[in-house]
Amino acid sequence: MCQTKGKIFAPSNQVRLTNVAVVRLKMAGQRFETACYKTKVVSWRQQVEKDLAQVLQCETVFTNVAKGQVAKKAEFLKGFGTDDHRKVCLKGKLQVSSQERQAKEEVSLRAIACPVSNLCINPETQTPYPPTVIQQAMKNIHFSLNPNKNNKQQALAVIQQLAEVILIQWVQKRVRVTLPANQATRLHDKVAALINLESLTFDLDLRLVGTIKPGHFRSIEEAVMDPTGGLATVQVLSLKDDRLKDLTQLPDRSLAE
């Protein structure tokens, strides 16, 4: 910076920007950055926003946005083989602050904790844990979020790990499985392996009543529906808590949400 006759001049290769989302790219050992509007970057990634001019705060590539240092032409040509700033602005990865990353992680943990709360109980009180308790327990075991698995899969995976820090068990649901007589002998053992049998009756059909873990409901359906051509039925008779839902009925949601 220099001052002459009351006027202040900034170095010609510096541009000062505020309230920016920094998008970075490293090429030929050199870091390059562009300054964007954060919400517009997300819309652009999702192909909602089509106008690049609405995404970029300026069509300039920097070596350091925070310091306003514009990339030198020689560095630019070495890294990209072109001096077209607009083309290079289409590349790069949005930098997420630690606060934003933590906030997204909290949302993801909560999305997993809610179905775990619905599926499990405290065996001493026979009542579900609040999602906040499950979420804190997940932090205590340092549960690692897996971006390649949906919330259903991660909820199932974390339940066994939570047993290390809290008393927890699957809530049981009571079901009735009805098998047509001509398939009863062949399918009985498959069903019996997935159900804690309470009663068995046989007249025109074979009926098995017992309790199962929520995750076994779909397994039982798959074991009996196709082999019987859809003639078998699997019915939920009761739940220990009306708020409980089969995990297979919950919608999928991703970590990027």
Over residues 179-205, the pLDDT tens digits come to: 998 888 889 888 888 888 899 898 889
43 or 226: whose pLDDT is higher? Answer: 226
CATH number at 98-169? 1.10.10.900
Residue 48's pLDDT band (cuts 50, 70, 90): confident
- Distance of alpha carbon 203 from alpha carbon 5, whole angstroms: 105
- pLDDT exceeds cutoff 90 at 133: yes
Reported as a single tens digit per residue, the pLDDT across 63-112 is: 888 888 888 888 778 877 777 777 777 665 555 555 556 777 888 899 99
Q: What is this structure's pTM?
A: 0.45
* Structural domain 172-241, CATH architecture: 2-Layer Sandwich (3.30)
- Distance of alpha carbon 1 from alpha carbon 5, whole angstroms: 14
Alpha-carbon dihedral of residues 94, 99, 102, 104, nearest 10 degrees? Answer: -50
Q: Which of 136, 195, 191, 137 is CA-nearest to residue 166?
A: 137
> So what's the pLDDT on residue 132?
92
Angle 131-140/98-119 helices, nearest 10 degrees?
120
Q: Which of 8, 11, 99, 22 is CA-nearest to residue 66?
A: 22
Ranges of each domain in the chain: 10-94, 98-169, 172-241
> So what's the pLDDT on residue 5?
44
> So what's the pLDDT on residue 176?
92
> So what's the pLDDT on residue 256?
30
> So what's the pLDDT on residue 24?
80
- Distance of alpha carbon 20 from alpha carbon 39, whole angstroms: 10
Q: Which of 173, 168, 152, 154 is CA-nearest to residue 217?
A: 173
CATH homologous superfamily for the domain 10-94: Ribosome maturation protein SBDS, N-terminal domain (3.30.1250.10)
Report residue 28 CA to chain centroid gap.
Answer: 34
> So what's the pLDDT on residue 207?
92
